[in-house]
Copies of this chain bind each other. A is one copy, B any other.
Amino acid sequence: MTISESTASAPAPSAPALTDLRRRLGQVSDLHAAESLLSWEQETMMPQEAARVRGLQLSTLAGLAHELFTDPRTGELLAQAQPEDEADRAVVRVAQRDYDKATRLPTSFVEERSRAQNEAHHAWLDARQRSDFAAFAPHLSTMMDFARREADLLGYEEHPYDALLDSYEPGMRVSQVRSVFADLRDRTLPLLRRITAAGDAADYSVLTRPFPGEAQKAFAWRVAGEAFGLKSSFARQDESAHPFQSNFSRSDIRITTRVEEYWPACLFGTWHEAGHAMYERGVHELWERTPVSRGASLGVHESQSRMFENLLGRSRPFWGRYFSELQGAAPEVTAGLDAETLYRAVNRVKPSLIRVEADEVTYNFHIMLRFELELGLLDGTLKVAELPEAWNAKMQEYLGLTPPSDAQGVLQDIHWSAGLIGYFPTYSLGNLLSVQLLEAARQDTAVAAGLQEAHYGPLLAWLAQHIHQHGRSLTPGELTERATGRPLSADPYVAYLHEKYGAIYGLE
């Protein structure tokens, strides 16, 4: 009796360690899912008086998830676990990477930063409303201090920004972003000049013709199901002030949208979120309730959302197929129009001050500008006080515009107030990757034939196979190389812009 008890308390063999690890990761995943559900509900339907206690509940869930994951026992289980197949090896590898990152930041640092972020966020909301950059400046300085300290704590080889970028785009380096962005800038700025010189390619007043809100949402959702496979058996659509995608498992997905007079915001916004949703839907169920069960990076995620929104949703075959459905859903919008004129209208190129309203040609300039300024702020070559002036100079250089106020300039985005430094480049990396992936997929004849008819079944299958199913088991770099045969490049995107907009704007 004594002997068997002593045996029972000896170090556990590897299989139980793996079982215990997956159980623990499952609990952490469940806590994060609950947190996401409470957040989604807060943004879509929560009664207003519930906000204060909801904040405490969210904080408890986040705190308990962090505590459970960074507990030394997680480290022991990671060290003891002996995975026997590729799926479990990926779980241990990804969890170990997350554990190392999470435990490198002391709790005191995380708590201090969380308080500072909260203050910075409220200061930003107020400063933006009053267009008063000076009121936000000290908070931005604090956020940049935290970013530098975080980079030091996480460690880096070439540039402190690499440590931050790695959280959003694992394995990506500043040097690579710089080179790709320089190429992109040099080859699209001349195109933009020629487009703006060419003048209007359509009557853009159709974009604000009457389209009742409920009809906008219903049309957008129906097409998201029919074209992109987003079904109500595993997903639902609600309204929120800022559209987002969220999910609590691969069969429990939410997207939000908003309704505006400018109706393309609802349609293309819905299809954008559908791209994110179908990525999360496609991750292999082997990785359910593990840290592998998410998109590989923000950039890869954005490649999926931008593909649905722009490469498909703003394509000529798409409107060839769905124009008649739009006629049924929005007779006032489509009166006197045909598919071709609608196609031209929704592909308007026009330099503008606000990133989230930018078109396919100008969008990346908004990102390059932010990337360059972030680098300067982080390495100290740009002072916070000089930021508005630097912002406005770059806006003039890239888009020929000067913001009439900081609210429409340097204060427009939430990211810096939340301490999200290194996040912006992923939007453009996603744009570039979207075309590179679509070009690779098009090598498959079924995919290519489907694209011509706006039948996306074969493309969805290709994406599921080459991108979605892998979750975080492959890095963005590995995914890109395997799916397209080469590293990320600006070439496909530049060629796409030239071909599409050369035709629309009649450039030789």
| Chain A residues in the interface with B (C-beta under 8 A) | 26-27, 30-31, 33-35, 37-38, 41, 45-50, 52-54, 56-57, 60-61, 63-64, 232-236, 248-249, 251-253, 288-289
In the complex, which residues of chain B have a beta carbon less than 8 angstroms from the beta carbon of A54?
A: 248-249, 252
Do A47 and B248 have beta carbons less than 8 Å apart? no
Partner of A49, one of B35, B46, B234: B234
In the complex, which residues of chain B have a beta carbon less than 8 angstroms from the beta carbon of A48?
A: 233-234
In the complex, which residues of chain B have a beta carbon less than 8 angstroms from the beta carbon of A41?
A: 37, 41
In the complex, which residues of chain B have a beta carbon less than 8 angstroms from the beta carbon of A35?
A: 34
Do A289 and B251 have beta carbons less than 8 Å apart? no
Do A47 and B232 have beta carbons less than 8 Å apart? yes
Known A57-B33, A60-B26; judge A49-B233 contact (CB<8 A): yes
Query: How many angstroms between the C-alpha atoms of A239 and B492 in the bound complex?
Result: 50
In the complex, which residues of chain B have a beta carbon less than 8 angstroms from the beta carbon of A63?
A: 27
27 A-B residue pairs with Cβ-Cβ distance under 8 Å, sorted by A, are A26-B56, A26-B60, A27-B60, A30-B57, A30-B60, A31-B60, A34-B37, A34-B61, A37-B37, A37-B38, A37-B41, A45-B236, A47-B232, A47-B234, A47-B236, A47-B251, A47-B252, A49-B251, A50-B252, A52-B251, A53-B248, A53-B251, A53-B289, A54-B249, A56-B289, A57-B248, A64-B64
In the complex, which residues of chain B have a beta carbon less than 8 angstroms from the beta carbon of A61?
A: 30-31, 34
**Least distance between A446 CB and chain B CB atoms (Å):** 27
Chain copies in complex: 2
Query: How many angstroms between the C-alpha atoms of A234 and B48 in the bound complex?
Result: 7
In the complex, which residues of chain B have a beta carbon less than 8 angstroms from the beta carbon of A46?
A: 252
- Which residue on B lies nearest to A249, using beta carbons? B53
- Which residue on B lies nearest to A33, using beta carbons? B57
**Least distance between A61 CB and chain B CB atoms (Å):** 6
Query: How many angstroms between the C-alpha atoms of A169 and B287 in the bound complex?
Result: 44
Query: How many angstroms between the C-alpha atoms of A194 and B27 in the bound complex?
Result: 60
Do B45 and A57 have beta carbons less than 8 Å apart? no
In the complex, which residues of chain B have a beta carbon less than 8 angstroms from the beta carbon of A34?
A: 34-35, 37-38, 57, 61
**Least distance between A339 CB and chain B CB atoms (Å):** 33
In the complex, which residues of chain B have a beta carbon less than 8 angstroms from the beta carbon of A233?
A: 47-49
**Least distance between A8 CB and chain B CB atoms (Å):** 16
Q: Which one of A38, A48, A63 has the greatest number of beta carbons of chain B within 10 Å? A: A38
Instruction: Return the 3 tightest CB-CB contacts between A and B, nearest first.
Output: A50-B252, A30-B60, A53-B249
In the complex, which residues of chain B have a beta carbon less than 8 angstroms from the beta carbon of A49?
A: 233-234, 251-252
Query: How many angstroms between the C-alpha atoms of A31 and B38 in the bound complex?
Result: 11
**Least distance between A108 CB and chain B CB atoms (Å):** 16
Query: How many angstroms between the C-alpha atoms of A452 and B52 in the bound complex?
Result: 38
- Which residue on B lies nearest to A58, using beta carbons? B30
Query: How many angstroms between the C-alpha atoms of A48 and B231 in the bound complex?
Result: 11
In the complex, which residues of chain B have a beta carbon less than 8 angstroms from the beta carbon of A56?
A: 26, 30, 289
Query: How many angstroms between the C-alpha atoms of A288 and B27 in the bound complex?
Result: 26
Query: How many angstroms between the C-alpha atoms of A38 and B41 in the bound complex?
Result: 10
Q: Which one of A45, A48, A53 has the greatest number of beta carbons of chain B within 10 Å? A: A53
Query: How many angstroms between the C-alpha atoms of A63 and B26 in the bound complex?
Result: 13
Query: How many angstroms between the C-alpha atoms of A63 and B56 in the bound complex?
Result: 20
- Which residue on B lies nearest to A236, using beta carbons? B47
Do A253 and B47 have beta carbons less than 8 Å apart? yes
- Which residue on B lies nearest to A23, using beta carbons? B60
Do B252 and A53 have beta carbons less than 8 Å apart? yes
Query: How many angstroms between the C-alpha atoms of A46 and B253 in the bound complex?
Result: 9
**Least distance between A142 CB and chain B CB atoms (Å):** 27
Do A248 and B60 have beta carbons less than 8 Å apart? no
Query: How many angstroms between the C-alpha atoms of A50 and B254 in the bound complex?
Result: 11
Query: How many angstroms between the C-alpha atoms of A252 and B48 in the bound complex?
Result: 9
Query: How many angstroms between the C-alpha atoms of A236 and B48 in the bound complex?
Result: 11
In the complex, which residues of chain B have a beta carbon less than 8 angstroms from the beta carbon of A47?
A: 232-236, 251-253
**Least distance between A479 CB and chain B CB atoms (Å):** 25
Query: How many angstroms between the C-alpha atoms of A64 and B23 in the bound complex?
Result: 13
In the complex, which residues of chain B have a beta carbon less than 8 angstroms from the beta carbon of A251?
A: 47, 49-50, 52-53
- Which residue on B lies nearest to A288, using beta carbons? B53
Q: Which one of A30, A56, A249, A251 has the greatest number of beta carbons of chain B within 10 Å? A: A30
- Which residue on B lies nearest to A232, using beta carbons? B47
Query: How many angstroms between the C-alpha atoms of A52 and B64 in the bound complex?
Result: 23
Query: How many angstroms between the C-alpha atoms of A26 and B48 in the bound complex?
Result: 21
Query: How many angstroms between the C-alpha atoms of A346 and B318 in the bound complex?
Result: 56
- Which residue on B lies nearest to A52, using beta carbons? B251
- Which residue on B lies nearest to A47, using beta carbons? B234
In the complex, which residues of chain B have a beta carbon less than 8 angstroms from the beta carbon of A52?
A: 251
Query: How many angstroms between the C-alpha atoms of A208 and B35 in the bound complex?
Result: 43
